[in-house]
Amino acid sequence: MKYSWWSYGTQMAILLVLLGVAHRPLGMYLHWVVEGAVLEGKAGEGTRQNRVERVLFRMAGVSPEREQNWLGYARGVLAFSILSVLVVFLAMRLQALFSTEGLGAVDPWTAMNTAISFVTNTNWQVYTPETTVGIAVQMVLLAVQNFLSAAVGICVAVAFMRGLTRAGTDRLGNFWKDLVRISLRFLLPLAAVSAVLLIVAGVVQNFWATPVHNPYTGAAQVVPGGPVASQEAIKLLGTNGGGYFNANSAHPLENPNSFTNLFEVFLLLVIPSVLPWVFGRMARDARQGYTVLGVMGSLWLLTSTAMAWALAAYPGLGEGMEQRLGPAASGVFATATTLTSTGAVNAAHDSLPPLAGGVALFDMMLGEVAPGGVGSGLYGILVLAIVTVFLAGLMVGRTPEYLGKKVQAKHMTLTALYLLVVPIVVLVLTGIAVMIPGVLSQASAQGPHQFSEMLYAFTSAANNNGSAFGGITSSGPALSTMLGIAMWLGRFVGIVLILALAGAFVTQAVVPKSAGTLPTHGGLFAIMFGTVTVLLTALNYLPALALGPLAEGILK
């Protein structure tokens, strides 16, 4: 299919305008949800509980005003997430008891992988939704985790921002209060409005299938139904990505036309791109937020352009693309979905031209920071800001500082560990997987593309993205388990390290600025910051990329 640069430019321009318009109002609202005191003018005033929250907290026995230190906060995150995995797993195993469609229990390996996948905000789909999970599982388990895993990500980002911006305390906030407020006051209304807009534009939302019969051609079909729009909205807003249907956002009932397509790209970018504004407000220095946003935005524009070039220079036949969308709209979606840890797809990534598939892979390898998953993108990129400050400090021979906090050995240890977790998980597990013949053969292609399929799977899992080179069959005990481990470690080892880092910063006093303080805003810092981000990725992954998509691109 012919690539249209004009269509690409139009889509990017519209996205920039929409994201720009939403930025400040949504940022102010989210800041009020997590910190209170902005809309109502008085400190603490905005965090008054409404009736629903009061009932929730009383029944659960939570004192929302009692703040936790980093360990307490981490305990809450882990307890909630482990319990969620168990509940989703058990309910999927018991599907036969309540499925209205007559679907049976989900295979234990699939159920385990799926439970981890949705709780870690990955939404890797080892199952085929149409034949494996019914309305009840999708609506009551999976879509709920779409909200909650996204809310957990924002909670951790907020706790980390508090760690950087508070001083002389060890308290990071109350996890339960943050979780409930972010879910009910922020994600829920946004999802409801988006879902209704999606329905008006053509997305299905009912609870039944409709048999149809074409009297002229004789075609008889059953048009599927289900609570699709309500799940689609939070799937994108929460950077989750698990499709109601197997074809995900390529399915005409999930993404019926080029308008919904662009709106869906907007939805998956909007929350991660608003969080830097919240950061600027919490740091009481808007420039800090805009610098982070600038780095995220530049990486987005650069990788989008690289994707556009890869699709324009090596056009395919359109295999795995929808006619109504075409290569330009597929490329814009593919870049946004791999940069944000969403992993929804509107085209089959496996069939993309080799270098375009390579760009999608590289986007995930950036560590999901441009703008990244909801919450995880912000804390991920702030870690890279700390590394940049540290490197700059080494160059000029001063103790590095970020937002007035001295960056010391303990901070750098946690930062380095955070940055190493995902690459180690990806590379070690991919290495193991390709050495086991029975596992390697689950990737259907031959030669370098087979390696790409496996590398893509583990990169996607450990970065909690969830998109796939679909030629891989990830069911079966060995690969389901390895991918489940990758998702779990990639998410929660990172989160515990981030909260520990927040705990290490929050107790520190703020050092007053001096003439020698490196400013952490503005163009010079942003360029260093962006360079560090790309270089770290390249150093970690170039050898692996050379064996996969680069080799394939050269051989072609």
- Written as one letter, the residue type at 80 is F
User: Contacts with other proteins in 401-460 (CB under 8 A)?
Assistant: 444-449, 452-453
Q: Which of 179, 101, 94, 170 is CA-nearest to residue 135?
A: 101
State which residue, 258 or 298, has the beta carbon closest to other proteins: 258
If one asks whether residue 271 binds other proteins (CB under 8 A), the answer comes out as: no
How many CB atoms within 10 Å of residue 409?
A: 7
- Written as one letter, the residue type at 12 is M
Rounded to a whole number of angstroms, the minimum distance from the CB of residue 143 to other proteins is: 6
Rounded to a whole number of angstroms, the minimum distance from the CB of residue 525 to other proteins is: 36
Q: What is the DSSP letter of 443?
A: B
Applying CB under 8 A, among 97, 317, 396, 435 the residue interacting with other proteins is: 317
Rounded-to-integer distance, Cα 454 and Cα 445, Å: 10
If one asks whether residue 191 binds other proteins (CB under 8 A), the answer comes out as: yes
What are the tokens at 336? 């946004």
The number of residues that bind other proteins (CB under 8 A) is 119
Applying CB under 8 A, among 50, 100, 169, 221 the residue interacting with other proteins is: 221
Which residues make beta-bridge pairs with 213? 220
Rounded to a whole number of angstroms, the minimum distance from the CB of residue 170 to other proteins is: 16
Applying CB under 8 A, among 87, 391, 412, 485 the residue interacting with other proteins is: 87
Rounded to a whole number of angstroms, the minimum distance from the CB of residue 125 to other proteins is: 11
Rounded to a whole number of angstroms, the minimum distance from the CB of residue 21 to other proteins is: 18
User: Contacts with other proteins in 533-552 (CB under 8 A)?
Assistant: 552
User: Contacts with other proteins in 324-363 (CB under 8 A)?
Assistant: 324-326, 328-329, 345-348, 350-354, 357
If one asks whether residue 102 binds other proteins (CB under 8 A), the answer comes out as: no
Rounded to a whole number of angstroms, the minimum distance from the CB of residue 494 to other proteins is: 20
DSSP code string of 509-549? PPPPP-TTPPPSSSHHHHHHHHHHHHHHHHHHHHHHHIIII
Q: Which of 385, 414, 417 is CA-nearest to residue 400?
A: 385
Radius of gyration of the chain (CA): 23
State which residue, 107 or 254, has the beta carbon closest to other proteins: 254
Rounded to a whole number of angstroms, the minimum distance from the CB of residue 5 to other proteins is: 12
Applying CB under 8 A, among 102, 168, 215, 523 the residue interacting with other proteins is: 215
Residue 64, preceding peptide bond in cis (omega within 30° of 0): no
State which residue, 59 or 396, has the beta carbon closest to other proteins: 59
Q: What is the SS3 assignment for 336-369?
A: HHHHCCCCCCCCCHHHCCHHHHHHHHHHHHCCCC
Applying CB under 8 A, among 471, 484, 494, 530 the residue interacting with other proteins is: 471
Compute φ and ψ for 151, nearest 5 degrees: -65, -40
Q: What is the SS3 assignment for 462-516?
A: HCCCCCCCCCECCCCHHHHHHHHHHHHHHHHHHHHHHHHHHHHHHCCCCCCCCCC
If one asks whether residue 49 binds other proteins (CB under 8 A), the answer comes out as: no
Contacts of 142 (CB under 8 A, 6+ apart): 88, 114, 118, 133, 231, 242
How many CB atoms within 10 Å of residue 199?
A: 17
Applying CB under 8 A, among 69, 99, 206, 507 the residue interacting with other proteins is: 206
If one asks whether residue 287 binds other proteins (CB under 8 A), the answer comes out as: no
What are the tokens at 547? 């064996």
User: Contacts with other proteins in 487-506 (CB under 8 A)?
Assistant: none
State which residue, 211 or 437, has the beta carbon closest to other proteins: 211
Rounded to a whole number of angstroms, the minimum distance from the CB of residue 27 to other proteins is: 23
If one asks whether residue 259 binds other proteins (CB under 8 A), the answer comes out as: yes
If one asks whether residue 224 binds other proteins (CB under 8 A), the answer comes out as: yes
User: Contacts with other proteins in 138-177 (CB under 8 A)?
Assistant: 139-141, 143-144, 147-148, 176
* Crossing angle for the helix pair 143-165 and 228-237, to the nearest 10 degrees: 20
State which residue, 252 or 476, has the beta carbon closest to other proteins: 252
Q: Are 504 and 411 in contact (CB under 8 A)?
A: yes
What are the tokens at 7? 């269509």
If one asks whether residue 128 binds other proteins (CB under 8 A), the answer comes out as: yes
Applying CB under 8 A, among 199, 434, 439, 527 the residue interacting with other proteins is: 199
State which residue, 210 or 399, has the beta carbon closest to other proteins: 210
Applying CB under 8 A, among 30, 204, 479, 506 the residue interacting with other proteins is: 204
What are the tokens at 495? 């989160």
If one asks whether residue 527 binds other proteins (CB under 8 A), the answer comes out as: no
